[in-house]
Amino acid sequence: MRATVMYAAGDVRVETVPDATIEDPTDAVVRVTRASICGSDLWPYATMEPSETGQSMGHEAIGVVEEIGAEVGQVRRGDLVVMPFAFSDGTCEFCRHGLHTACVHVGFFGNNGENGAQAEALRVPYADGTLYKLPVSADDALLPSLLTLSDVMGTGHHAAMCAGVGPGKIAAVVGDGAVGLCGVIAAKRLGAEQIIILGRHEDRTTLARELGATEVVAERGEQAVSRVKELTGGHGAHSVLECVGLDQSEATAIQITRPGGKVGRVGVPQSASMPNSQTAFYANVTISGGPAPVRAYIDELLPDVLEGRIEPGRVLDRTVGLDDVPDGYQAMADRNALKVMVTP
């Protein structure tokens, strides 16, 4: 079968690899009908040390179950499923509490040797706990939005939940990438009264306004902080969604949170230490977040997608076939595309 393999920074290839097969009785093999390239794939694309074996890429997918192991009982051959970016057993104490990304058997597709979804097919460990059957057909027009439930929409929702967004709250979203835009959707969906997006890409902030942002702050650093304070009666936002992960954006997120407010962070942190943490302390600002348990959120988000109340698929602004995945990486790295969908 064909699959995407990264060998070094900037070196992504689509190659013929051994077919995905059942290895454990809890596995399924899923034939991918839609995949996508994630902002987090751009980190290795920028920095990966050369590797002879390479890393199979991709962690966002919708597909059809092609084969199941002997112990798989919740999904069947022919089911159309969405695949969260992490696999999880669905039964451990962390899964039972809705934190599937801390599952005792957790693994991340397209990372650390796990097979990836930018491929014709892939092996899905713990299929029963991981895959979510979709009540639509494989050519449904909703597929782009449903695909975002595998990562970016659930991740934006996690940021909003961790930041305590709710009716009447002022939310600020740091970052205008796909996750930030999904954060805007999530903040609106949860009832935020005011939604400020911090971003400087005009096409993206324009889309953010269409998705629910009430104000755009294009400044950075101290100027961004001042501008958000001006827009929020001098005190900052109740709920700040940190959707970037750079030191600068983490620092800004803390500075624009009002005393007693919350930062929900979903951008993978650039550094081991968090800047401005002392500032957070003096203002009793809570810092929460991490890898989103998107599997847990599908139940809640799916009806809104199916009934058209949210349209997170709008963040997918380009579609490529499998052979053109390398062009998709480059387009995202060049910021010519916001987020690329793949149709293997």
Interface contacts to a copy of itself, rule CB under 8 A = 94, 97, 99, 101-102, 162, 259-260, 265, 268-269, 271-291, 293
| CB-nearer residue toward a copy of itself: 53 or 273 | 273
Least distance in angstroms from the C-beta of 253 to a copy of itself: 12
Least distance in angstroms from the C-beta of 56 to a copy of itself: 21
Least distance in angstroms from the C-beta of 58 to a copy of itself: 21
| CB-nearer residue toward a copy of itself: 186 or 310 | 186
Least distance in angstroms from the C-beta of 290 to a copy of itself: 3
| CB-nearer residue toward a copy of itself: 144 or 177 | 177
Contact criterion met (CB below 8 Å) for 60 and 147: yes
| CB-nearer residue toward a copy of itself: 21 or 278 | 278
| CB-nearer residue toward a copy of itself: 141 or 272 | 272
**Tokens 């009785």, located at residue:** 25
**Tokens 């990836």, located at residue:** 116
Least distance in angstroms from the C-beta of 217 to a copy of itself: 23
| CB-nearer residue toward a copy of itself: 69 or 291 | 291
Spatial CA neighbour of 171 closest among 182, 181, 160, 162: 160
In this structure, what DSSP letter does residue 256 have? T
Least distance in angstroms from the C-beta of 171 to a copy of itself: 17
**Tokens 């740091």, located at residue:** 174
| CB-nearer residue toward a copy of itself: 280 or 341 | 280
> Residues, the chain, total?
344
Q: How, if at all, do strands 121-124 and 28-36 pair?
A: antiparallel
DSSP letter string over 37-101? Answer: --GGGHHHHHHPPP-SS-EE----EEEEEEEE-TT--SS-TT-EEEE-SEE--S-SHHHHTT-GG
- Round the CA-based radius of gyration of the chain to a whole number and report it: 20
Q: CB 256: neighbour CB atoms within 10 A?
A: 28
Least distance in angstroms from the C-beta of 262 to a copy of itself: 8
Q: CB 280: neighbour CB atoms within 10 A?
A: 21
Alpha helices of 27-177 — where are they, by DSSP H? 42-47, 93-96, 127-130, 143-147, 152-162
Distance of CA 315 to the CA centre of its chain: 11
Alpha helices of 106-142 — where are they, by DSSP H? 127-130
| CB-nearer residue toward a copy of itself: 208 or 263 | 263
Least distance in angstroms from the C-beta of 332 to a copy of itself: 23
Q: How, if at all, do strands 55-56 and 2-8 pair?
A: antiparallel
